[in-house]
Structure 1
């Protein structure tokens, strides 16, 4: 069986640099648009594969909320996120809150609980202003 590619290729490095330059938590499609400015011949599939590799290796964070498009975060420090319920924009909660403890928790039908996350839903400034204008 072939070993997974682990070296930092030029494409992977550019994807990581572009992701770390932004605080918008882009989707793969949005990041593809950014990366194409530097690597015009890169394919969307290559961006997706490299984002998955970087997330699986712990180099970046994959943000997946139920029923929403995957987004990516180049900041892997411990922190929580807030998501606008209207437009889907994501922001960082800083300073971060303590993570909830999972030791001693039991849930019927589950053998092991590994981790817990705190995520927040709200309205971004633009969506709140747009809602206020409609009233």
Structure 2
């Protein structure tokens, strides 16, 4: 009986360590520069990429939980910053971006100070703005 309890305790410890390691890897993996690579509208075949997009945009996610967002639209550069949180649900990982001030470049359904991104993979995240008739925005990690 003691061997069975010891075996279960060891398995439990190993499983809990693996989960924490995965979360730590995901958190450190999002740090860096992310660039807008694709925009889609609500109409079929409305996808644009590269210079054809309405604007160019990027995020810089820092290791201290802060970020900067920059948008270049027709040569006018707008920047805004804030803090971010990684939310791990059982079936998805979300990136919550909380801006320090309102800005026209915040793409959100619910607030002018918060964006939610769905981490599709280690190198791709998607904006949730298209859920309320905003454009579908796809970002790729560039470093």
Q: TM-score range by the shorter chain?
A: under 0.3
Structure of higher CA gyration radius = 2
The structure in which a higher percent of residues are helix is: 1
The structure in which a higher percent of residues are strand is: 2
Which TM-score applies when normalising by structure 1?
0.25
